Amino acid sequence: MKKVFAFSAMALALSLVSCGNTGVNVGSGGDSSSGGGGSGGGSTQTQPANAIVITLRSWETVYSEKLGGKPDPTVYFRVNGVRGGSVVSSNTTENLLNKTDISSWSGTSKSLPVRFSMDSDSIRIDAIVIEKDLLADDDWSPGYFTRIRRPLNVGRTGSVTLDYGSGKSAVRFDYELVNW
């Protein structure tokens, strides 16, 4: 009987030790000191998010040597919190791409968390792409966006490709809602 009790106590102690804080979302980038619920581990937590992390995956454009060479792209994102059709918060990422003389790029460039108002019923993400070259006019990408609607919960992820300029260019990115 003592052996069974000792074994049960040891098993209980091991299970308590292994339970630790597993809610930290390792893939969110930056400091995850809030320890909010992660997207894995079978968690059914529905904690509201207050920030988004955007990962640029690719950018490409069709260019013409007649315009004076390949573009010098700068890519960043504007994140608007929207409630009832009105913008209640607006913030931007840092530049996720800033290159010279290229027509395409693929890789991983992850933003720091970008806050939005927790009163938002949706988030609008605008890809801001400036294709600048010294011998051609700047080409800015206004009006190309995606909207994420409720539920705006921690751990929600997605992948988006925005085609702009009537098929001239495209930007692809992933996003993850986080608590920051």
Note whether residue 159 is domain-resident: yes
Domain that holds residue 121: 45-178
Note whether residue 18 is domain-resident: no
Task: Give the CATH number for residue 117.
Answer: 2.60.40.150
68 has a pLDDT exceeding 90: no
52 has a pLDDT exceeding 80: yes
DSSP state of 150: S
| Overall domain count for the chain | 1
Q: 64: pLDDT confidence band, cut at 50, 70 and 90?
A: low
Note whether residue 38 is domain-resident: no
Q: How far is CA 89 from the centre of its chain?
A: 17
Note whether residue 33 is domain-resident: no
Q: 177: pLDDT confidence band, cut at 50, 70 and 90?
A: very high
**Bond preceding residue 73 cis, omega within 30 of 0:** no
Using left for φ > 0, alpha for ψ between -120 and 50, and beta otherwise, residue 139 falls in beta
Percentage of the chain beyond pLDDT 70 is 64
Note whether residue 166 is domain-resident: yes
Note whether residue 31 is domain-resident: no
66 has a pLDDT exceeding 60: no
Note whether residue 144 is domain-resident: yes
CB 29 within 8 A of CB 53: yes
Q: Which residue has the higher pLDDT, 92 or 65?
A: 92
**pLDDT tens digits for range 20-31:** 333 323 233 333
Note whether residue 62 is domain-resident: yes
**pLDDT tens digits for range 133-155:** 655 555 566 568 999 999 999 99
> Does the pTM of the predicted model rise above 0.85?
no
